[in-house]
Amino acid sequence: MMAISAMATGCADHSIPKAQLPELDTSNPLLTEWSTPHGTAPFSQIEPAHYEPAFDAAIACSRAEIDAIVNNPKKPTFVNTIVALERQGELLGRISGLFFNLLEADATDEMQAIAQRVQPKLTQLSNDISLNPELFARVKAVYEHPGRRLSVEDKKLLENTYKSFARNGAALSDDDKELYRQYTTELSALTLQFGQNSLAATNAFTLHITDPAQVAELPAFVKETLAADAKARGQKGWTVTLQAPSYVPFLTYSSNRALKEQLWRASNSRALGGEFDNTEVIRKIVDTRLKIANLLGYETYADYVLENRMAENTPTVQNFLQELLTATKSYADADYKRVNDYAATLGFKGALMPWDWAYYSQKYKDAHYSLNDELIKPYLQLENVKKGVFLLANKLYGLNFTPNPDIEVYHPDVTAYDVTDAEGRFMAVLYLDFFPRATKRAGAWMTEFRGAKRVDGKETRPLVSLVMNFTKPTETEPSLLTFDELETFLHEFGHALHGMLGEGSYESLTGTSVYRDFVELPSQIMENWATEKEFLDLWAVHYKTGEPIPAEIVERIVAAQNYLAAYANVRQLSFGMTDMAWHTLTKPFEGNVAAFEQQAMAPTQVLPVVEGTAMSPAFTHIFAGGYAAGYYGYKWAEVLEADAFSLFKEKGIFNPEVSGSFRENVLSKGGTEHPMELYVRFRGHKPETKALIDKMHLGE
């Protein structure tokens, strides 16, 4: 998953009379110039109390910049209107980039309270810009009569700017504009509340174990992780949390069904009732989104969203999801039966429940592929994995990564790197933040404190951050990753490459600023290298002995790569279909959240349904992130990457011509052109679902 923010300094339009600009408090580090390496944030100087006054000053600065554009006596032009709009708000972008990224990665109660107060102000500013009739008139005038020969990049900026106004209410009547303001303000507060409830619900549950017999069967790395969690909480024994590095291994290796059921139910009923209930928040979110869509002339919120996506419309997405489901559902059911039958040979009676699945599917994998986390993890020491990922970026794109201790970080777990290319050109700063903590939300994501751009010949390079929740080191062992965590690292690093290799004049068009269903191509294609022996042999060594990962283990990994592929595919389709169900509603939602979700997931159901659970109340991707009516994009991108990686397989996984073409036509271009044009330029043809289906080797 990725998220995007920006970072810059000062008011963009220095021609504005000083009297019209807000007076900035130079004692506030957020409002001063930073004499730091590459203009990075001086985190140690910034306190939570600095944010709100800085936001207020930056909002005032942005308003002055907008007023200057509106009141410009000269005829509207591409430069004085469209480019000026792109450049305005730099100070606000810098502050927002810092604040909202830290709100995800290192949030405190104070930061969350500030967010609740600041968000309405930001929404009001956004609405005041998009609903300003004089400003829209200038944008429309340039859109209809550009008055000069524009580059491809300029044309895309003009098109995006005009569409942004039109899609954000600029053409509405005055009465409807007021409704739009009301709805968007409510929606921004609701999505913020949803995310905060989800985080609080995740942190609220722990399973504390004091009986050694209940953890005796667990692998040493799991016991040490749980013991470390307990110790950090001032407890004796072992503590299981709902964070993935704790939750997943316990379900995978414990045979204690009662404890696993308790844990699974807790995870799958997060924010479903109770103190941090999100069910009413969901109802309000989907209803408010529907109101916004209807106000703008769309029947559903999905229709509104998908107009600006590679897929382009709702029928295309629904047909796409159904096509993949039809091709794989019977194989997913067969996957379930295969594991269930195997469990029966071990004495299990009845149907496997969801909390049994990880344990018995792992047992099957152990028996048939002789493969498990304990076998692989010693070869995936985090430091070695990091070297391997950096090496891959070097072999494909000539990038080098050098730790820079002079760059301040926001938490002791974080490390900052200077990124340079083969010619020594500075490309980016990369922050790496690996381990879970109570102040960090679950999952893994890439984000930016600042994007790439060129202004008056001066280039600004991006500040990119990767935030993950990997297995922590213990008192006796370094951080050893699971194979899934290796894939996650490669995935998020693909997003980072998209950001670091971005080129262009306009920050809103560079890096990961692309259609949401295209943005996962650079990330998902990177996962393919996780099972390439030629790549693993370069760095994957046993952390104690230094022995390279044996060829037979790599062969087993490859053999097991498509184990339960159909099941995993259908599980992802269930999320995409649930997302589309919520966002193709045509009437206000008055039903039961769990029942609605159950109905939406019914065509994809493989494991037994468990009453009293639902994933929607913690589905932050669609209710607190940017994936509303867009979760299908993960599968869409899988089709793209399966087809794209086949070219690497054909020409060589480190082939410089293929990687050079991918960099030139995909990674560097960002959103400067339509993604289908970029993809076809790289691959030579449009993608088809057959590439993904073939990759799964169904029935073999």
Residue type, 13: D
> Which one of 492, 507, 638, 641 is the catalytic residue?
492
What is the spatial distance between Cα 286 and Cα 293, in angstroms, rounded to a whole number? 10
What is the spatial distance between Cα 559 and Cα 368, in angstroms, rounded to a whole number? 10
What is the spatial distance between Cα 374 and Cα 385, in angstroms, rounded to a whole number? 16
Say how many Å lie between the first and final Cα of the chain, rounded: 31
- Contacts by residues 230-237 (CB-CB < 8 Å, ≥ 24 positions apart): 233/206, 235/208, 236/210, 237/208, 237/209, 237/210, 237/211
SS3 state at 665: helix
Residue with tokens 């009301």: 182
Q: Which helix (H) or strand (E) holds 453?
A: strand 453-455
User: Hey, what are 599's tokens?
Assistant: 């109905």
User: Do residues 450 and 39 lie in contact, with contact meaning Cβ atoms separated by under 8 Å?
Assistant: yes
Active site residue 492: yes
User: Hey, what are 435's tokens?
Assistant: 């381990």
Q: Is the dihedral of CA 16, 21, 23, 25 positive or negative?
A: negative
Bridge partners (DSSP) listed for residue 430: 417, 464
User: Do residues 349 and 341 lie in contact, with contact meaning Cβ atoms separated by under 8 Å?
Assistant: no
Q: Is the dihedral of CA 163, 61, 146, 76 positive or negative?
A: positive
User: Do residues 510 and 453 lie in contact, with contact meaning Cβ atoms separated by under 8 Å?
Assistant: yes
User: Hey, what are 580's tokens?
Assistant: 């589309």
**What is the full DSSP assignment across 368-386?**
HH---HHHHGGG-BHHHHH
Q: Which of 592, 464, 446, 412 is nearest to 519 (CA)?
A: 446
SS3 state at 431: strand
**What is the full DSSP assignment across 193-235?**
HHHHHHHHHHHH-EEEE--GGGTTTS-HHHHHHHHHHHHHTT-
Bridge partners (DSSP) listed for residue 381: 480
CB atoms within 10 A of CB 504: 23
What is the spatial distance between Cα 477 and Cα 248, in angstroms, rounded to a whole number? 19
Which sequence positions are flagged as catalytic? Answer: 492
